[in-house]
Amino acid sequence: MASNLVALCFDANDPLVVARFWAGALGWEIDDSVRGFVALVPTDHTSFQLHFLPVAEPNMTKTSIHLDLTSTSLDDQRDLVDKLLTLGGSHIDVGQDPNDAHVVLGDPEGNELCIIEPTNKFLAGRERLGSITCDGTPAAGYFWSAVLGWPLFWDQDEETAIKQPDGVGPYITWGPPVPPKTPKNRLHLDVAPGPGVEQAAEVERLISLGATRLDIGQGDVDWVVMADPDGQALCVLPPQQT
């Protein structure tokens, strides 16, 4: 039984500000009924939410996960860039070529995102959120395919990609460079056991797939922090109510 992908989580000094930026970027809705963090609910075929978790530490390093947003035309790409700049985004340099067709921005707290050119064939047919794009090895792609039950549809040149079983929604991709091992990224994935599966059993299944337990100082909480084969943190939540 596969895990359910619950959310892509952002550490944020001001969760509401960052959530409002991404709501504007994706056209998703803010759910103000949750406590302790800000949730962004999809309005498209995406099967998971974005969660913005309050932290005190500022963003000091490049994350190994970023989002790729699609565009339908050069005008759409330009308009989206302009919109995100008005929402608190900024142009940032991550070593991209000045002639690259995509545009690299940072959200209000410096988390990278790319506005992909309309001629990009890999993300053709995706909605605005085209991909969760991860620095990583093929081993991470194989691991996450098994964890989520999402089929692997790309595996070449040290790059892997998976997609939802129904074929819609954003891809999740991995490719060079391999990220440095750090205690915790600003972005991470939260999963929960599938129906009828206990949290402890799901933790053991992930360990059998190559995950390890991870201590980031989380203390006594009801989720389990783990690391994927690349050492990147993920959280296994208790079973979710449906």
Q: How many CB atoms lie within 10 A of CB 213?
A: 12
Q: What is the mean pLDDT of the chain?
A: 94
90-132, pLDDT tens digit by residue?
Answer: 999 888 888 889 999 999 999 999 999 999 999 999 999 999 9
Task: Spell out the domain ranges in the chain.
Answer: 4-175, 187-236
pLDDT value at position 179?
Answer: 72
**130, 69 in Cβ contact below 8 A?**
yes
Instruction: Specify whether the CB–CB gap between 189 and 211 falls below 8 A.
Output: no
Place of tokens 């690391």: 227
List the 152-156 sheet strands across, edge first.
90-91, 103-106, 112-115, 65-69, 129-135, 171-175, 159-162, 152-156
What is the C-alpha separation between 110 and 52, in angstroms, rounded? 14
pLDDT, residue 183, reads 64
Contact (CB, 8 A) for 225 and 214? yes
> What pLDDT does residue 156 have?
96
Question: Quick check: helix, strand or coil at residue 8?
Answer: strand
DSSP state, residue 184: -
**Per-residue pLDDT of the chain in tens (242 residues, 90 and over written 9):** 899 999 999 999 999 999 999 999 999 999 978 889 999 999 999 999 999 999 998 887 778 999 999 999 999 999 999 999 999 999 998 888 888 899 999 999 999 999 999 999 999 999 999 999 999 999 999 999 999 999 999 999 999 999 999 999 999 999 998 877 776 789 999 999 999 999 999 999 999 999 999 988 888 899 999 999 999 999 999 998 75
* H or E stretch at 152: strand 152-156
Confidence at residue 25, expressed as pLDDT on a 0 to 100 scale: 98
pTM for the model stands at 0.94
Pair 177, 224: CB distance under 8 Å: no
Question: What's residue 226's pLDDT?
Answer: 95
Fold of the 4-175 domain: 2,3-Dihydroxybiphenyl 1,2-Dioxygenase; domain 1 (3.10.180)
CB atoms within 10 A of CB 97: 7
How do strand 129-135 and strand 233-236 relate by DSSP bridges? unpaired
Query: For position 242, what pLDDT does the model report?
Result: 59
Give the C-alpha distances (Å, rounded to integers) separating 73 from 102, 123, 210. 12, 13, 41
